[in-house]
Amino acid sequence: MIDFSFTKEQGEFRKKVREFARKEVEPRRKEWDRDRKSALPINERAAAWGLLKSDMDNITKGILVEEIAYVDFNSAMPVVWATLPFTLDKFPGVPEEVKRPIQERILSGKSFLALCFGEPGAGTDMARFETRAVRDGKEWVINGIKNTISWVDADYYFVCAKTGQEEEGVWSLTDFLVPASTPGVSSPEVWSDMGSRGATRGIVQFTDVRIPLNYMIGEMGKGYILAAEFFDINRAFIGLKCIGAAQASVDEACEYAKKRIVMGKPISMYQAISFPLAEAQTLLEAGRLLCFKTLWKADRGERHTIEGAMCKWWIPEMTLEIVRKCLLIHGQYGYTEDLPFEQRLRDILGWQIGDGTAEPSKLLIARSMIGKEYVG
């Protein structure tokens, strides 16, 4: 049986998140963007509201992402990450006495875990990673540089490094838990990005960083699998984040169109205005259904790689265009920093790059349709 409804509990949760976003997030949106301040402090407030729970299903987390992104794009992802939604956040293989205090700090909003995948010479091509971890007695020694780290000012890093031979490709990768306070971990270099300024993205260098053997996450040589599982589901959350921002733009444009009078009548009376808004709402509904289908499959333990890829390549492109049209409906005022459209454009654009550009996602989809041996 197909059921497109949310549960009563999820409906109540949506109302609570919506109230939280209006009271706690909205007043600080401009400050985080203008001053390039990290949005991470919002996690402690989310914890105080009871929104950070480790046992939330992915559908509920999707609601959390969309509702917060409706108010502020930059606050949505750190809040959902702090619910420990992914296998890699649960630190498989790390002893309970090591990971439990860290997880408790993350769930209380007092600490944050950043993911260190990208490198200066390798982005999507993880087989080209140069960061290496070498066993030395009872410790691992890590050397390398990781970049494109979102929330680079975190307290803990999830580091993907090579432990095997070059010819093993992605099967040479293993994951590690590295506290940011560990000797040899550099102070983060924060980039001056044009958008997502509340995400404090940048670079960290690891120089002879020594961690205990039991700080290895998962199994040796299985780092790529954990990363792939993360990306598959995170792409649905990225899609919902973009949808939240675009939905807010459409709602604001509808209200403005009813009030703006041109040639004696509201501009909503002109189909040049109302039809693009109708088209935008249709696309948003389709994108929303795709994202929640992806999360639904994840909750059922079904593979959702292709759906995640669809979310990743299409929704950031689609929502960027929707926000652009909503800006234009507002005329000159829409082009100013007084209204949120310009920030939403900058923020969404970054996620046409983050977690992989559109081309690898399209390649995954094409190979599933035609066959890997027939698609370059």
Residue with tokens 């696309």: 283
- Per residue in 123-148, pLDDT (tens digit) is 778 889 999 999 999 999 999 999 99
Coil vs helix vs strand at 78: helix
Residue 230: closest CA among 69, 113, 76, 132: 113
pLDDT of res. 85:
65
Residue 110 sits at φ, ψ, to 5 deg, of -90, -20
Asked if 195 and 268 sit in the same domain, the reply is no
CB atoms within 10 A of CB 313: 22
Across 76-90, 148-162, 164-178, 190-204, least confident range: 76-90
- Per residue in 211-241, pLDDT (tens digit) is 999 999 999 999 999 888 889 999 999 999 9
Segments in the chain forming alpha helices (H):
8-20, 29-34, 42-48, 58-71, 73-81, 96-107, 223-259, 271-299, 305-329, 331-334, 341-350, 358-370
Among residues 194, 221, 248, the one where a domain terminates is 221
| Alpha carbons 121 and 374: distance in angstroms, whole number | 28
pLDDT(159) > 90: yes
Asked if 78 and 158 sit in the same domain, the reply is no
Asked if 246 and 336 sit in the same domain, the reply is yes
Q: Structure pTM?
A: 0.94
pLDDT of res. 115:
93
The CATH number given to whatever domain includes residue 286 is 1.20.140.10
Q: How many domains does the chain have?
A: 3
- Res. 104 pLDDT band, cuts 50 70 90: very high
Decide: 199 and 114 in contact? Cβ < 8 Å: no
Residue 293 sits at φ, ψ, to 5 deg, of -65, -40
Q: Considering the domain boundaries, does residue 1 fall inside one?
A: no
Asked if 268 and 216 sit in the same domain, the reply is no
Which amino acid is located at 244 in the chain?
A: G
pLDDT of res. 86:
65
Among residues 200, 221, 242, the one where a domain terminates is 221
- 333's tokens: 């005022």
pLDDT of res. 282:
98
Q: Considering the domain boundaries, does residue 289 fall inside one?
A: yes
pLDDT(27) > 90: yes
Asked if 193 and 242 sit in the same domain, the reply is no
Asked if 234 and 342 sit in the same domain, the reply is yes
pLDDT of res. 135:
97
- Per residue in 230-278, pLDDT (tens digit) is 899 999 999 999 999 999 999 999 999 999 999 999 999 999 999 999 9
- 316's tokens: 């950031």
Asked if 211 and 232 sit in the same domain, the reply is no
Asked if 169 and 273 sit in the same domain, the reply is no
Q: Considering the domain boundaries, does residue 107 fall inside one?
A: no
Coil vs helix vs strand at 76: helix
